[in-house]
Amino acid sequence: MNKFCMTAICALAAAPAFAESHMASDAMAKAGLTYGVRPAYLVSKMEDGPLKDELAACLGNTPERSAFSIGHRGAPLMFPEHTAESNMAAASMGAGILECDVTFTADKELVCRHAQNDLHTTTNIVVTDLAENCTTPFTPASGDTDASAECRTSDLTLAEFRTLEPKMDASDASATTAEEYLGGTADWRTDLYANDATLLTHAESIALFDSLGADFTPELKSPSVEMPFDGFSQEDYAQKMIDEYKDAGIDPSRVWPQSFNLDDVLYWIENEPEFGAQAVYLDDRYEASDEDEGAIDPMDASTFKPTMQELADMGVNYIAPPLWMLITLNDAGEMVPSVYAEQAQEAGLEIITWTLERSGPLASGGGWYFQSVSDAIDTDGDYFEVLDVLAQDVGVAGVFSDWPATTTFYANCKGL
């Protein structure tokens, strides 16, 4: 690539489909922001009370962009995740921050995918000529064995990656053909907007999000390949992600780099302190076994290792656990902050959380994301009850959502 080529222009020239979506983003920006119908629907499902009355009074408000509202992979409740279209939809709902989950291809180019090994569920790769490149090619269901495949971005060059067609993240475990395997979309999502969606490189996401008036929260995804990869170390990977913001001339104050790997966060703090100041530690220690010293019980501060104060002493300013770790039920069955949330507050850590509207309808308790308060959840209107506790009692700085209009509406109504 010409060394004098400006980042955004080079990206446009390299990817005609992205160029078209970039122009579409200009049209969307001019069209203004919209809540759509969902916030009003959710308010109608709330139990009567002061919060419902307050939110109902805001339904006629003019939407405003809010950094409290973070697009989780764009707006994947209805759009294929990490596509230009998904992020344009999130921006149109007022999401002030958009996310590119960052991984790399065989030629070490950065692209937006939730995982390095998710191409078999998020694209059409298993029915293309590139299927033979997959780490584990498609295997049909047989007897008690589910259909399976594993296709990684590192199995492809960037040029090959660009030929894929994105789709809703799903697969059909009962499939006996590769074509059937492309199905499986949950009945509370939709394939209506999956046609002709546009994949993004990380550099293209920067140009697009900037054009949409949004800020950035890239997540450095854990590699599925052994590192170093062809001489590409974890530190090289962490640095390359930051370098693409520097190359694009993005002010560090607009970027919240994320990682589940605490070493990545500490690398940015030490080597890129302007970006490291807003680096977000995605705390997944809840996945550790009970025997593991790192396992966290959100109601037992003795299990926080490192502790919240130790994280703060390391220079970590932002922590981002799943929302169920931040809230619990008191003896009266009311949602209240967990000990984990209280300890983070006491250490002066900013808190971001994930992911609202990821689990579908809440009538059955909300699933994994709401596991600590499932006994208090029985209607979709409870999304706002959860948001209110997170915002007003836990004091979170932002909430990831699969449909950002809900979070934007709440933030606007509350003046966040």
Check whether 406 has a pLDDT greater than 90: yes
Percent of the residues in the chain that have a pLDDT greater than 90, as a whole number: 89
Provide the edge-to-edge strand list for the sheet that holds 110-112: 110-112, 101-104, 219-220, 258-259, 280-281, 318-319, 350-356, 398-401, 66-71, 95-98, 215-216
Check whether 268 has a pLDDT greater than 50: yes
- What's the pLDDT score for residue 4? 28
Check whether 14 has a pLDDT greater than 60: no
- What's the pLDDT score for residue 364? 84
Check whether 239 has a pLDDT greater than 80: yes
Confirm whether pTM is higher than 0.75.
yes
404-416: burial string, b at 16+ Cβ within 10 Å, e else: bbbbbbbbbbbeb
Q: Which residue has the tokens 């037992």?
A: 300
Check whether 108 has a pLDDT greater than 60: yes
Q: Which phi and psi (to 5°) does residue 97 adopt?
A: -135, 135
Computed over every residue of the chain, the mean pLDDT equals: 93
Check whether 179 has a pLDDT greater than 80: yes
- What's the pLDDT score for residue 293? 62
The count of C-alpha atoms lying within 13 angstroms of the C-alpha of 351, restricted to the half-sphere facing its C-beta, is 27
- What's the pLDDT score for residue 378? 94
Question: pLDDT-based confidence at 45, cuts 50/70/90?
Answer: very high
Task: Please write the tens of the pLDDT for every residue from 64-99.
Answer: 999 999 999 999 999 999 999 999 999 999 999 999
Task: Please write the tens of the pLDDT for every residue from 114-148.
Answer: 999 999 999 999 999 999 999 999 999 999 999 99
Percent of the residues in the chain that have a pLDDT greater than 70, as a whole number: 91
Q: What is the dihedral of CA 123, 141, 190, 12, to 10 degrees?
A: 0
Question: pLDDT-based confidence at 288, cuts 50/70/90?
Answer: confident
Check whether 191 has a pLDDT greater than 70: yes
Contact 99, 219 (CB under 8 A): yes
Is the peptide bond prior to 306 cis by the omega test (within 30 degrees of 0)? yes
Question: pLDDT-based confidence at 194, cuts 50/70/90?
Answer: very high
Check whether 5 has a pLDDT greater than 60: no
Q: Which residue has the tokens 């009692």?
A: 393
Cα separation of 379 and 161, whole Å?
Answer: 41
Lowest mean pLDDT among 29-43, 55-69, 280-294: 280-294
Angle between helices 84-92 and 202-211 (to 10 degrees): 30
- Angstrom CA distances, 393 to 38, 337, 386, stand at 25, 6, 10
Check whether 39 has a pLDDT greater than 60: yes
The H-assigned helical ranges of 272-404 are: 273-276, 308-313, 339-346, 382-388
The pairing of beta strand 101-104 with beta strand 148-150: unpaired
- What's the pLDDT score for residue 11? 41
Cα separation of 91 and 96, whole Å?
Answer: 7
- What's the pLDDT score for residue 8? 38
Check whether 10 has a pLDDT greater than 60: no
- What's the pLDDT score for residue 31? 64
Domains and CATH numbers, the chain: 36-116+190-414 (3.20.20.190)
- In 3D space, the residue among 94, 90, 89 whose CA is nearest the CA of residue 66 turns out to be 94
Cα separation of 259 and 218, whole Å?
Answer: 9
The pairing of beta strand 148-150 with beta strand 215-216: unpaired
Question: pLDDT-based confidence at 287, cuts 50/70/90?
Answer: confident
- What's the pLDDT score for residue 365? 86
- Both ends of the chain: CA-CA distance in Å? 43
Check whether 12 has a pLDDT greater than 60: no
CA 358 to chain centre: 10
Q: Which residues contact 313 (CB under 8 A, 6 or more apart)?
A: none
The count of C-alpha atoms lying within 13 angstroms of the C-alpha of 92, restricted to the half-sphere facing its C-beta, is 18
Stretch 369-374: mean pLDDT, rounded? Answer: 97
